[in-house]
Amino acid sequence: MTADADIVEGLRAAGLAGEGDVVLVPLTGGVSCDVWKVETPSGPIVVKRPLPQLRVAAEWLAPIERGQSEVRWLRRARGVDPQIAPEVLAELPGYGFAMRFLPDSPVWKDELMAGRIDPGFAAAVGRGIAAVHAATANSVADRAAFPNDDMFRALRVDPFLLHVARNDAELGPALDALAGDLVSRKIALVHGDVSPKNILVGAGGPVFLDAECAVYGDPAFDLAFCTTHLLLKAVWLGDARLNEAAAALVDAYRTGVAWEDADGLMLRAGRLTAALLLARVEGKSPAPYLTDPDHKRVVRDQARASIVAPPPSLAGLVANWKRTFA
């Protein structure tokens, strides 16, 4: 039985498909998974299955069991707010799963690239992230449900921090220390991939997808990861509204921080953002749209400067981020 046939049999076993032909229509799955849209008698659904080797130039292996972590995160997030994550309909063979298809919900990345930049929506993203962190902070049950440290290291810490550290004698010690601090903190449930490509613009606000990297860890990572993407696109598109969106995201998130000192979290997030910005030009997964050497240079130079002399907070990094180059 082929892998796709295995998925079809799983859908039938879950009562999501009949005995007739089942067509898996490929959707954009990014670097880490296969994603299909499937028409069923009760309406369209989305099926997702993780890949063992990610679609990048460098060797990047990751355990496919991360599909289970994503399912757990989606269900936990819906327990916080049913509108911020899609409904999981069934778990399938190969650590895949089926979830409800959400019509008329464009991907936030596509909206940004089309010039439809709404700082208010960015603020809603910040509030959504903070809500999950607040609901799971210092939770023994949530920590026990997400013991995914090895997976997080394989998908985030090694490719984004340690890979750069191994190849940068000047910044290596600082990046190693940052990685060590990141993995040591067990504070709240972290999504691990809060990126515009993983957020839908739903009728009721942001809908978060692709939580394969979910771990109980440092909530500053989620804020830093999303801010990084907005600042990269600000350089690429040269649009001041992306800086405004990043500032709105950070400000809204900060208002939801009640589980720890907000200043300390923002300091950690600023340092992580600087490192992640550098990783998107020098890590295992470079930003695919940053092809212009000048764009890469401006990101690299600003990121390196912020690692050598960290800003006092993430808000400071965002406020000083340059969109264009001389």
pLDDT band at 1 (very low <50, low <70, confident <90, very high): very low
In whole numbers, what is the pLDDT of the chain averaged over residues? 88
Q: Out of 50-64, 98-112, 168-182, which region has the weakest mean confidence (pLDDT)?
A: 50-64
Beta strands in 117-263 (DSSP E): 188-190, 199-202, 205-208, 215-217
pLDDT greater than 80 at residue 301: yes
pTM: 0.88
Q: What is the mean pLDDT of residues 131-135?
A: 98
pLDDT at 103: 86
Structure-block tokens of residue 10:
């799983």
pLDDT at 149: 93
Domains of the chain and any CATH numbers: 3-100 (3.30.200.20), 108-320 (3.90.1200.10)
pLDDT greater than 50 at residue 325: no
**40 has which bridge partners?**
43
- 20, containing H or E segment: none
Residue-wise pLDDT for 54-76, tens only, equals 444 444 545 555 557 888 999 99
Q: Is the dihedral of CA 11, 14, 16, 21 positive or negative?
A: positive
